[in-house]
Structure formats: structure tokens, C-alpha cells
Structure 1
Amino acid sequence: MTARYSFASHEEFLAEFSLEIPENYNFAFDFLDAMARIEPEKIAMVHVDDQGARREYDFGYFAAQSARLANALAARGLARGDRVMLVLHRRVEFWVSMLALHRLGAVAVPSPALLTAKDIQFRVNHAAIKACIVDQGAAARVNEARAACPTLALCVCAADGQAAAPLGWLDYHALAAAAPETFPVPADKPGGDDPLLIFFTSGTTGMPKMVVHTHRYPLGHFVTGVYWHDLRETDLHLTLADTGWGKAVWGKFYGQWMAGAAVFTWDFRGKFEPARLLELLAEHEVTSFCAPPTVYRFLVRQDLSRYDLSALRHCTTAGELLNDSVFHAWKEATGLPIFEGYGQTETVLQIATFPFMTPRPGSIGKPAPGWDIVLLDETGRPCPPGEEGDICVRIDTKRPIGLFTGYLDEPDKTRNAMDHAFYRTGDKAWMDEEGYYWFMGRNDDLIKSSGYRIGPFEVESALVSHPAVVEAAVTGVPDSERGQAVKATVVLAAGFAPSDELTRELQAHVKTVTAPYKYPRVIEYVAELPKTISGKIKRGEIRERDAGS
């Protein structure tokens, strides 16, 4: 575990923070095994299953179980560089499997439980995946895809309870139980610049890309856990994320353990229930909490006075932008501000509001140490304060820890994103006079209307501050006079129904909250918004549907 230092300001943080990068770093050997030697009984995870049963797991458990699984997989031919798909919900087996693969030098490919057989086939073949470790719910879909996946040679099932693994599959629990619980560090230890993880992007436009990270990547999350999540050794942290996406290792793994905190894991299945989440936060005395803004929007619609959240001391959000109204409602009810952060599947935390900064609702904060952020205009010129530009990361002087190496087997897409000087995120923002960044959206999502460039977030934020609106997606539609007109696709709260009167009311409301020229001239009411399986709004799909109508 790396030492923690306190900072009084963002300027001091950037000037004084440094991170030691051990040679040929491997998280399983260099962090987990060290923790298991020093404090084997220190709690690493509090796990609550879908029935509410609580179990605690210490660092000694994860060290021994990951060694067992690594030995068992090695005995069946899995080796350094082999790619392994994991579909394990929020089960403890996910963490054990990840650590076992880290030991072997095999490359983990975390994947969401909602993948269809077609999705699985695409991913297995696109990444030449050799093995999979999945829970019982995903095994049938893997079987459906398996005949069309020639590289998939080894299938392991973590069955529920006493259930047997499907025919032709290895049983996860029997496999691990029969293997030794020590895994000596090999002479040619995997680590450093070796590939560690492949994440598939969520694919809001086009097919998902394969993002490759190395064994240095976990160290990039030290800042996430210690400074953004503000974790101490006595903390219990919950990041509400599925293990199939990068956000899980942002908030449920590397940085939190390096901070010495325990990870709280709620393995819920089915529909998210905000009241149940609040019950768990209170019952288990969670001290640090991170969730996307959508979750906070549902939470503030509950009667928060019914829940004892007195143990909670720090709250963060990422993945989308946080609406002002939600920020203020949460702070009024709990006394806690929400600290925003920004990053991508391709990176770790790039920009954030840290605990020693004053949160500004709607701002993603200031750059994390090691990330030289530059806003560039369309000509490649740096933007002055107040002017919007592309969020870019300078990489010619020093490459940040946690930046991906490229998109697997897609050199053209990698070159489009990274040249010798910059990594271009594809997102737009502007910076105010005090150095706070304000996210505008993906380049493809910006609306050009009557000479104005309008980011969807500000209009969406204005809409959801109205009690009738649960969710909104703002896009541009062709307009003969303006080039594009602002359109809002809206999900209404219970008790509200679409009407011309409500449309006029929402339009007037937006005009009072933000600049009047940004109001939606078109409002469509829908039962739900199209989203990726990671929960991100697919504005591109809305645009395509409108263009075809």
C-alpha cells in the first residue's frame, strides 16, 4: 500500500504528488500478496447477495483463492497472453478470476451479463478469446455461440449453489478446490508493459472497440481511490457498477484496495431499486459512495429522511454529467456535496473535483496529477478560458499512467485517436478563468443551431429539474431556417401524461433555467430512452430514427 499525503489545494496536489512505478509491476504479486503477508485478515470486501446475505472476505482469502485458480487454469493450458472472457455479475469469483489471470499473465476481458449470444460471438471472434469464465446465467448463451467461435477452447462455469456445471464445461469451484493455494512468482513474471485487460467500449456509435491496458493500469487508479474517493483504511466504499465495464475496476478493485479500504459489493440482479440501495447504505454503514448521475436522480426522488445515512461522508459521480438540481437536492438531504470526475474506458481519472476543492455543480473539476489536459480548437490551437475545444491529453513529454496502448487490431482507429503529441478523447469542454472544466458532450452530440453550438447536457439538466421529467436526451433535428433545431426526447415521471400544455410548460421552464435560445422546439415523449448495455444514452440512435422518419 502506498503512503497517503494530504494536500491543501489543487495547485499543491499537482506540484507535490508523485507516484512510484515499480519495475515490471504486477498487482497480484506486488500488491495483493504483499497485503496478504502483512495483514491477511484485513477485510477486503463486504459482499451482499441478491437475498441480502452478507459475507466478508479478507486479503488472505483473495491471495489463496486466486493462487488456486491460477494453478488450476495453468494445468489446463492457459498461459501468458491468452485472452479470457469473464461474465460473472458482481460475484466474488470475478475478483478471484481477475487476480488469477494477472498471475498467469493472461488477459482478462470483462464482459457484461446482458450480452446476447450474438454479442458473445462477436467479442470472442474479434478478440480471439481462448477461454471464458462465466456464471450459470451466461453459460447457455455461450453454448449458443460456441460452435461459431473456433478459438474458444476452455469454458469454466461458476454454478450457483450445488448446481452442476453444464455438459462440456469445467466446474469453477471443483477446479479451484483441487489446486494448491500458493503460486510462486515465476522467473519471467508477467507485468509492466505486458497486456493486462481488454475492455470493449460501450458502443454508443458503431461497433464497440477493444481497449488494451497494461499491468501499469492499476497504479493509475491510486489517485481514484485515495484522493477522488478520499478513502482511508477504515472506509467501506460502494461504487455501483457492473463488473462487465471499466467503471468496476475504477471503483471496486485496484484504487480502493491500494487505499486500504474495503469494497462493498451489492450483487443485485434484475431491476435497480433505489429504496433498497438506500436501505443497504444505511444498514451496512457505507462511508464512501460513487454512482452515475442517473442513480442519484432516482435516489433524490425517495424520502431520504427515512434512511440513516450518517455513516456516509463522501460522495462521487462519473459516467455522465450531474444535474444542478440533483446536486442541490442530495446536499440538502444529506449535507454532502457530490464530487464529479471524468475519464473514459481508455483512461483512468483524467479530471475531477477533489476533496480539497470546492465543487461547482456541472463542472467536472480540474486535471488529475500526471494528466496534461489541453483544449484544442478545430485548427489545433489551444483554447483560452471560456472557449470550447476538444479535450486532449499531451503525451509527447510524458505518457500518463493508465492511458490505454491502443485499440486492439485497429491501427487506423488508434492513429485517429493518438498521434505523437496528443490523445484526443472525442469529447468537448471549456475551462473557466479559475481552471475548472465544464463538459459539453461528445463531438457528435453537439447541436449547431442558428450559429450557436449547443451541448445537450445543459438542456437535459434544465429539463430534469422539472418535476415531470425523469430522464431526457437532447439531440438536433434538421431545420430549414436554423440548420438544426433542439429536440428533447423525454421520459415522464409517474403521475404526468404527455400534452401540448405540458410541452409548453417544459419549454418555458428551460428558458428560465438556461439561455432561451437553447429551449427544445420539439419534445417527444417516450416510455424509455435507448441505451447501451452499460446504461449510456444512445443519442446517435435517436438521431438515426429521426432522420429516417
Structure 2
Amino acid sequence: MNRPTASAYTDHFAREHLPPQELWPELRFDLPELQYPPRLNCVPQLFDGALAAGAGERIAIRGADVEWTYTELLERIDRIAHVLRGPMGLEAGNRVLLRGANNPMMAACILAVLKAGCIAVPTMPLLRARELGAIAGKAAVNAVLCADGLRGEMEAADLPPGAREKTLWFGCTDADAAGSLEASMAAQPSRYEAVDTAADDVCLISFTSGTTGVPKGTMHFHRDVMAICDCFPRSVLASQRSDVFIGTPPLAFTFGLGGLLLFPLRVGATAVLLEKLTPETLLQAIEKHRATVCFTAPTFYRQMAPLAGKYDLASLRKTVSAGEALPLATRESWRQATGLVMIDGIGATELLHIFISAAGEQVRPGATGKPVPGYQACILDHDGRPVGPGVIGRLAVKGPTGCRYLADERQNDYVLDGWNLTGDAYEMDADGYFYYRSRTDDMIISAGYNIAGPEVEDALLRHPAVAECGVIGKPDEERGQIVEAHVVLKPDYAASPELAAQLQEFVKGQIAPYKYPRSVRFLAALPRTETGKLQRFKLRNE
């Protein structure tokens, strides 16, 4: 299944920018449910189960003030697909940048792009114009679908030629306003025949910051979307039609895209998509919607545990933690508060979703779990050789999904001898359980967000007071890590709490606010090697 089949695309950008096939990881399809046909569009496949069972009138998606049945969601998807291939003039294989918070319309837009034979490039709501421009440029996007409430940064972003003219806004206060997606949808037919894509046509380009701050686009096929739905949720989560999924990760994160949209659709369940949740409002929403499955980061569970007794959480049967290491104390406090044993998991944007996990009686305290059926994992030493139990080394994974970076030489670093190297240091025990030990690179993981230190440094260096700086992740009990900036000031500036606060606000205006340094330390000089390289380990040791 590694050999490419005939593409349905007339725009061949995606296939032309895949890495050479000899640099791909080995892809394995060992389970019966992973045997996909050569022609496959994932969107009809996601809906087939529910519709074939006569569940078209079941609720597919609930938002803050709207709920759509499977039939209603499908109608909106089809109308948007007509807009894309009709009035917007897109061709198969074009890339569409998507920008919006977790709500039903954002979900419909993503699915419509895939059904129309285009490629979705989802972006997080908090990204700034400079970050959006970098993503749009690397993916060479042809069009934009953006929430009206997020116009500011989108309009300020530098877009490839033609994309600005093919931008539509959804969720406008005036649905008939010029450039309104809803207005365009109203004039379109309610049925759209899915484009007959190849199973290995790229349908999704998801961006991850990486350790250098330069965006990396991970390219995923239609069959990859199905594979993640047929692995973790089937084998570990044991999801079912009666489930109601809820949580916090943005749909622009593959953790959220899978857990809050793809997984529920695959089994004909219900997805609850809500914006700007806090630990308390998430608990309120679980009670209100009688949610049964929750996806969020350890930080949220940590903050929800002391509040859980105020709410009726009897409907919850599974709670999934991913995005950062799950502390034992958090898992235990959540169990004491709710009686639920947390499902921990590790995934990666490069592999699309969770590949090591455990649930129920298979949970072992302190361990992330075992490889999800369909995946294999081992620990490699620095020379790339597998090591046995009790040795800390590089986590290596292979399965039906794997890393394919968009025109990026870092493909060479992520794939070794067919294995995906996640950048995590792990240890395996004699029973095959995997234990997280640390990151093997300089990525900062704070409250479930991946933050690249060099990107924060770049933002700080734009401030007139900053001569040089070094950013690291500082251990933090609440968030796992926080961003800490070590700053050397220019001669005319003096260190002060006021200046530290000014630098924090400045960074928030340059890049996504969650990336700002929560700690700022002023130094006379940064530790460097003789060749001028920053010695981050010395900053960490301080």
C-alpha cells in the first residue's frame, strides 16, 4: 500500500512536495479494519455507518446555540463543497486555509474541503498574522474560509497570490453580507457527490511548530483519516453510537480533530463543540450535555478535580488525557474526584493521533500504556539500535500512519530505518509498557501546547530593549512547563518588573498569546560556546 495510486487531483502540488518515498516511514496495515480500497474519500466513509443504520436524524454536532442532525450536517457540508468548486473556482488538489474556533460551522468547513477533493489546512484561532502568513506561504494556499470574528489577523496576513480574492467569512452577524459563506451556501444545491479521490491523495496538511519555530506541515492521506478512527477509538476507547464527545483541544490540532469530530462521526455518536472553555465551564457542559467521553490536557484535569464534586458527572465513562505527560498526582486526584481511571495517550501531529495508550484494567500507574493495536513501538539507542527493558532511549513508532513533511529536510531527522522518531525519551518495562521520561529536543510543552523556544526568542528580539535572549521550558507543577525567557538588555534599558511585564505583553502581540514567557529573567550575558551557540542546558541548570 506504499505505492501511489492515480490521483484525482488536477493540482499536483501536494504529491510533488511529498518527501521522496525512500524517506517515508514503513507503513503497516496489519489489522483487517485497516484494509482500505485504492479509491477512498474519507467524508462519505465517516457518515456511512450512521446513515446506513438509519441514524440520519440523530444529533451529529452540538454547538453553543445550535445542533445539527447527521442529515443537516451533511447538507451543510455539501453546500459548502459546491461553493468551493463552483463560485470560488477551486480545483481538485487546491489547498484551503481554515480558521475558526470549535463550533459546528468550522467542523462543516473542514469536512466540505475534504469531500470536495481539496486539501484542508486548519489553523489555530490564536495565531497572529505573521504565523498565518508563514503557514499560508508554505502550503501555497489557494483560498481561505475564516470565522468573521477572526478577521483582523487574517486580513493582515501575507497570503499567496489569488488567495485573498478567494476568501469567505462564516458566522457573520449579517448572513447576507458580502463575502459571507452562508450567503453563498444558500444559493447552492443541498447534495454534492464526493470527489473520487485516491486513498493516498493528501487531504490534510497539519502544521506543527517544531523545535526551530519554522512551521512544519505534516501531510495526511484520506486513508490516514480513516486509520486513526479505526485504531485508538476502536481498540482503547471502545467508542459507541450512544457516546457524547466533549473537550477542549482545537479542531486545528489533530488531537482535537480526531477526538472531537472524526471519532464521533465514525461511530454515529454526537460531538459537542464549544469555544473558550475553562475548567469550570467544561464541567458545566459535561453535566448539561450528558457527555460520556472527554478529551483534554492534564492541566485541565488538574484544575477540574477539586471542582468536580459540584457537578453531576455520572454520564462520563471515559476521560482521555494527551498533549503532555500525565503526572501521577493528576491521574490520582481525578480518580478520587470522579471514580474514573484516566486514559493516558501519546500521539503526534506527524502520525495524526494517539499510538500508545491504555484503558481500564490495562492502565498501569506511571505508564503511558502499550502500542495501540495497529501500531508497533520500541526504544532505540543513539545508534538506532533497539534496546531492551529498563533502558531510556528514543521512542520509535510505526503503523498505518507516519511522518511525511511538506518539502522539509527535517524528514531525515524524524524517520530512521522505517521508524518514526517522536522526539520523546521513553523507557519500556518487561511487560511492554512505555514510560515517558522527557523530550529529546528543545520543545516546550506547556498545558498541552507545543511551544518552540526559538520562535519566542524571535518575538522578543523585535522589542527595542532586547539585545539577546534565550528561552527554555521551566518545570511547573500546574502546567508541566512554563516558558521562561532569559533576557540581556541593551545599554539604555534597566531591568525592572515593569519592563518584564512590557516584554510579556509585546510577545502576546507578536505570536499566539499562549506562547508568551510567564517568567522573565534579566541576565548580564547568555552562556555560549566559543562558536557562539547558545548553551540552553546551562539556562536549564540554573
TM-score bracket, shorter-length normalisation: 0.7 to 0.9
Identify the residue that residue 432 of structure 2 maps to in structure 1. Answer: 435
Secondary structure, aligned partner of 1:444: coil
Which of 286, 296, 300 in structure 2 is aligned with 1:295?
300
TM-score, length basis structure 2: 0.75
Which of 62, 67, 83 in structure 2 is aligned with 1:56?
67
1:26 matched to 2:41? The reply is yes
Deviating above 6 A after TM superposition, structure 1's stretches of 4 or more consecutive aligned residues are 14-17, 526-532, 536-543
Identify the residue that residue 112 of structure 1 maps to in structure 2. Answer: 124
Which of 348, 361, 365 in structure 1 is aligned with 2:365?
361
C-alpha separation in 1, matches of 2:36 and 2:520: 42
Which of 269, 275, 294 in structure 2 is aligned with 1:261?
269
Structure 1 residue 267: deviation in Å?
A: 2.4
C-alpha separation in 2, matches of 1:382 and 1:135: 47
For the 8 Å contact 2:116–2:194, the answer to whether it is kept is no
Residue correspondences, number: 451
Structure 1 residue 91: deviation in Å?
A: 2.0
Structure 1 residue 284: deviation in Å?
A: 1.6
1:195 matched to 2:210? The reply is no
Aligned ranges for residues 270-289 of structure 1 at < 5 Å?
272-289=277-294
Identify the residue that residue 405 of structure 2 maps to in structure 1. Answer: 407
Identify the residue that residue 76 of structure 2 maps to in structure 1. Answer: 65
Cα offsets for 1:241-272 (capped at 9, x unmatched): 1122211222012222212321121223xxx4
Secondary structure, aligned partner of 1:238: strand
Q: CA RMSD in A?
A: 3.5
Q: What letter is aligned with 2:180?
A: D
Identify the residue that residue 87 of structure 1 maps to in structure 2. Answer: 99
Structure 1 residues 537 and 142, CA gap change in structure 2 (3 angstroms):
closer
C-alpha separation in 2, matches of 1:71 and 1:306: 47
Of 321-330 and 238-247, the range deviating more from structure 2:
238-247
Secondary structure, aligned partner of 1:84: strand
TM-score, length basis structure 1: 0.74
Structure 1 residue 116: deviation in Å?
A: 1.0
For the 8 Å contact 1:33–1:63, the answer to whether it is kept is no
Structure 1 residues 322 and 348, CA gap change in structure 2 (3 angstroms):
same
Secondary structure, aligned partner of 2:410: helix
- Percent sequence identity is 25
For the 8 Å contact 2:299–2:478, the answer to whether it is kept is no
C-alpha separation in 1, matches of 2:216 and 2:114: 22
For the 8 Å contact 1:228–1:352, the answer to whether it is kept is no
Structure 1 residue 23: deviation in Å?
A: 2.8
Structure 1 residues 427 and 360, CA gap change in structure 2 (3 angstroms):
same
Secondary structure, aligned partner of 1:139: helix
1:309 matched to 2:318? The reply is no
Q: What letter is aligned with 1:416?
A: D
Structure 1 residue 213: deviation in Å?
A: 0.5
Which of 208, 213, 232 in structure 1 is aligned with 2:215?
208
Aligned ranges for residues 209-224 of structure 1 at < 5 Å?
209-221=216-228, 222-224=230-232
Structure 2 residues without counterparts, runs of 5 or longer? 1-28, 454-471, 480-499, 522-534
Secondary structure, aligned partner of 2:387: coil
Structure 1 residues 159 and 77, CA gap change in structure 2 (3 angstroms):
same
Structure 1 residues 334 and 193, CA gap change in structure 2 (3 angstroms):
same
Aligned ranges for residues 416-427 of structure 1 at < 5 Å?
416-427=413-424
For the 8 Å contact 1:445–1:539, the answer to whether it is kept is no
1:373 matched to 2:380? The reply is no
Identify the residue that residue 179 of structure 1 maps to in structure 2. Answer: 188
C-alpha separation in 2, matches of 1:281 and 1:389: 39
Identify the residue that residue 235 of structure 1 maps to in structure 2. Answer: 243
1:249 matched to 2:264? The reply is no
Secondary structure, aligned partner of 2:157: helix
Higher relative contact order (Cα pairs below 8 Å, separated by 6+ residues) = 2
For the 8 Å contact 1:227–1:354, the answer to whether it is kept is no
Structure 1 residue 380: deviation in Å?
A: 1.8
Identify the residue that residue 344 of structure 1 maps to in structure 2. Answer: 348
Structure 1 residues 203 and 417, CA gap change in structure 2 (3 angstroms):
closer
Cα offsets for 1:442-467 (capped at 9, x unmatched): 21259xxxxxxxxx99xx9xxx9xxx
For the 8 Å contact 2:143–2:167, the answer to whether it is kept is yes
